[in-house]
Structure 1
Amino acid sequence: MGLTSVLRVRATGPAAGTTPLALVPGTNMNAAVSLAAVEALAVLGPVVVLDVPGQPGLSYGRRSRLNRMDRCARWLADSLSRAMDGPAWSWVIGLAP
């Protein structure tokens, strides 16, 4: 699906865990408009934000036309495996093909 922008934010809370939280902003969203959610999640642990290709943001700008669900699923699995060093909590906001 193209280049994916990844934002990494360190944990800020005194009781923050070490397991990263993955945030995937969905349709018409990106890391920049999700900063309030990222700030709130950083209290719990480190946060990794993946900008979805084809949506506003710093990832690849063209939206997939064919097999969207399959491509989105493969993109998400591949992007998470590349962006994370191990297990992670995931939070997807409105991901739509």
Structure 2
Amino acid sequence: MLTNKYRSTFYIGVTNNLKIRLEQHKDNLETGNKTFASKYSLEFLVYYEKFVWIQEAISREKELKKWRREKKIELIKDFNPKLEFLNYHFDSI
């Protein structure tokens, strides 16, 4: 899950390479590409899950997108209590 510097909006997506995908989101912000993530300046990673099978990842993405904001924040805080930006912690990902 990505958020902006104010942690006010969240974006959920699936990728097979998180580092590259985060770079793409940042590039979209810098080049002005009109995406949901760039519109709301969503570039900071606060939550992630790993899956072996893409079908499981897509299923989980769909599930999370249906959740209310409060439930998403609770999930994030269980994983990342301070809602820290995890973009530069790839050694643990």
Which category describes the TM-score, using the shorter chain as reference length? 0.3 to 0.5
More helix by share: 2
More strand by share: 1
Q: What is the TM-score of this pair, normalised by structure 1?
A: 0.34
Q: Which has the higher contact order (CA 8 A, sep 6+)?
A: 1
